[in-house]
Amino acid sequence: MNPIVKLQGITKDYGQGDIIVHALRGIDITINPGDFTAMAGPSGSGKSTLLNIISGLDRPTSGTVEIENLTINTMSRTELSRLRRDRIGLIFQSYNLIPVLTALENTEYILMLKGMPVKERQDIVRELLKEVGLEGMENRFPRELSGGQQQRVAIARAIASEPALVLADEPTANVDSKTASGLLDLMERLNKEKKITFLFSTHDKNVMARADKLLWLKDGKINDYRTA
């Protein structure tokens, strides 16, 4: 089985001269197809930095990042944008929905970028929004949706292009416990039924408990590792 993500010797330094922060210190990780993996650790441990490097939103100081056997370190911005569009779904803690677009328009945006015809992409998106429990809310703007509903739109948007990998940065942080549980149920179902690989950063013990693999980061290093 070829890994979806393979990190070797990843470091990330910020600053210069005598003031250098070592955010990541030699990270080695392999994520396989179908994994439902959580990265946990205290604030400042490097979780979000690591997700940004895996997604190509940031570059490591040293080390190698491979996504589906492609080394992305040396890719151009255009190539990285295309990779994210086609193979990586992103779910942000703050949702990152476009406020002037409806739930349907936010979700179909990536398919529009891929040049998919209007009717085809809207049929796909309506079915996706139904799957995530938002049937009948397609024409609502983000301000007309609750936090949990906005995160469901973000999840639908992340999986619209059928990515190999979804990276989720604290996806349950801004919702209540009942909503968080529903979001986790949804993502577990997508993982099992659609075989989408998920990698989370989280402080949420419920996310940690449901993960089949748990990576514990501390001071920019993997401090512990477990599998279910």
Tens of each residue's pLDDT in the chain, 228 residues: 799 999 999 999 998 778 898 999 999 999 999 999 999 998 889 999 999 999 999 999 999 999 999 999 889 999 999 999 999 999 988 889 999 999 999 999 999 999 999 999 999 999 999 988 899 999 999 999 999 999 999 999 998 988 999 999 988 888 888 888 888 998 899 899 989 999 999 999 999 999 999 999 999 999 888 776
The answer to whether the CB of 191 falls within 8 A of the CB of 197 is yes
Note the pLDDT of residue 51.
Answer: 94
Rounded alpha-carbon distances, angstroms, from residue 185 to 154, 199, 220: 15, 15, 30
**Tokens of residue 6, six digits:** 């393979």
Alpha-carbon gap, residue 176 to 198, rounded angstroms: 21
Contact 132, 89 (CB under 8 A): no
The tokens for 49 are 């930095």
Residue 120 makes CB contacts below 8 A (sequence gap 6+) with none
Q: What is the pLDDT of residue 228?
A: 60
pLDDT of residue 131: 87
- In this structure, whether the domain defined by 33-49+76-227 belongs to CATH 3.40.50.300 is answered with yes
Alpha helices in the chain (DSSP H): 47-55, 77-87, 103-113, 118-131, 147-159, 177-193, 205-210
**Of the candidates 76, 62, 3, 57, which has an alpha carbon nearest to the alpha carbon of residue 35?**
3
Written as six digits, the tokens of 120 are 């085809």
d(CA 101, CA 69): 35
At 5 the pLDDT is: 96
Q: Where are the domains of the chain?
A: 33-49+76-227
- Bridge partners, residue 161, by sequence: none
The SS3 call for residue 134 is: coil
The whole-model pTM stands at 0.90
Return d(Cα 212, Cα 228) in angstroms, integer. Answer: 5
